[in-house]
Each structure stands twice: as C-alpha cells, then as structure tokens.
Amino acid sequence: MSAMDSILKFNETFVANNEYKPYETSKFPNKKLVILTCMDTRLLELLPKAMNLANGDAKIIKNAGAMVTEPYGSIMRSILVALYELQAEEVAVVGHYGCGMTGFHSEAIYTKAKEKGLDLSRLEDASYAGVDIDRWLRGFEDVEENVKHSVDMIKRHPLLPEHTPVHGLVISPETGKLTVVEKAE
C-alpha cells in the first residue's frame, strides 16, 4: 500500500467521525504572523509546539532551507499576500540547525539524476533562457547567515509595508530551542 492509499483510507474515517472539529478556524492568522521555515520533517509538529502555535495562528510557508533567493519568486509573493490580504503584520524566518541545505551543491543532484538515467543535456534550454542552474540549486554554508540573508531580502523588498517587523531565528530540530539571530523592534 502506498502512502497515499493509506492517507485516503484514513481520511474517510477522519471526516466521517468529525475529527476536524478541534481545528476549525479562519484563514486569517490569529497571531498576525507569517513564518518562513524549512520543510524538514522534524519540524512538522515540533516547530508549532515550540512556538506555541495552534491551528489558525500563523501563515507558515515552507521550502528547503527557509531560503528567500529571489525577490520576485513565489516565497516573497506568499509573504506579501499574507501581509496584504490575510492580515499578517509580522514576519519570522525560522531556519534550523542540521539543515540539509547546509553545504548543498548542484553536483549532488546532477550525480543522482545521472544515476536515475536522466538526460542532463535538456538543462541546456534553461541555461540558454538565462537560468543559472548551479546557483538555483545551491544551498548555503551557514544557517545563521542564511537566515540573515533571507531577512535582508524581505526587508529590502519595495512592496514590504513600512515598519513591518521581520525577525530571524534558528530552531533546534531536537529540542525546539529558538536562537534569535535578528529581532525587529
């Protein structure tokens, strides 16, 4: 049975038994907060618990590494939608120690893609279109530096509402302890 088969089976009884009732809330974040964090599985439940966030409390955006690499990419757009359309007023970037994006380089993906028999010459189309693929696939060397960089990218955005607090933190994926890298007033 695939993961999805068991999910769908579970879902039928979840809905039938009204198990969604404790999670009823609105689309507007009660704590007026938007968080960018990493997709790391260890943070799935730990991060909300460690930050005292219940369902409905915050907008949570995730990607590999909690990285903002493009000022006009989907992460920045999501942050702006949360601030303008969904009543969020405060932003927090939460990286984590032991992140898989630390020291990550495109070569790791190229090697494994070749092992899977992929034809990497097709990447040339993207190169011709001006995409720097090595840069696009790159992680970071230091998690705290990456959080600072992401915070900086957000703060410098011309569409960020004035006086929006943008914080930077790093969480331990074991204990949930938060280390403040940058705290807005």
Residues in binding site for Zn(2+):
38, 40, 96, 99
CB of 53 to Zn ion, least distance (A): 18
- Is 40 a binding residue for Zn ion by CB under 5 A? The answer is yes
CB closer to Zn ion out of 38 and 147: 38
DSSP state of 22: G
The window from 34-42, 51-59, 109-117, 127-135 that contacts Zn ion (CB under 5 A) reads 34-42
CB of 94 to Zn ion, least distance (A): 10
Cα distances (angstroms) measured from residue 4 to each of 1, 24, 71:
8, 24, 35
The window from 37-45, 86-94, 149-157, 162-170 that contacts Zn ion (CB under 5 A) reads 37-45
Q: Mapping DSSP to helix (H, G, I), strand (E, B) and coil, where does residue 9 land?
A: helix
Which residues fall in the annotated binding site?
Answer: 38, 40, 96, 99
C-alpha span between 29 and 163 (Å, rounded): 19
CB closer to Zn ion out of 29 and 65: 65
C-alpha span between 161 and 83 (Å, rounded): 8
Residue from 33, 38, 58, 83 binding Zn ion (CB under 5 A): 38
C-alpha span between 38 and 35 (Å, rounded): 10
Give residues with Cβ within 8 angstroms of 185, minimum separation 6. Answer: 165
The window from 2-10, 39-47, 75-83, 133-141 that contacts Zn ion (CB under 5 A) reads 39-47
Binding to Zn ion (CB under 5 A) within 51-110 occurs at 99
CB closer to Zn ion out of 83 and 99: 99
Start-to-end CA span in the chain (Å): 51
Give residues with Cβ within 8 angstroms of 166, minimum separation 6. Answer: 90, 91, 92, 93, 151, 154, 155, 160, 182, 184
CB closer to Zn ion out of 34 and 38: 38
CB closer to Zn ion out of 99 and 154: 99
Which residues lie near Zn ion (CB under 5 A)? 38, 40, 99
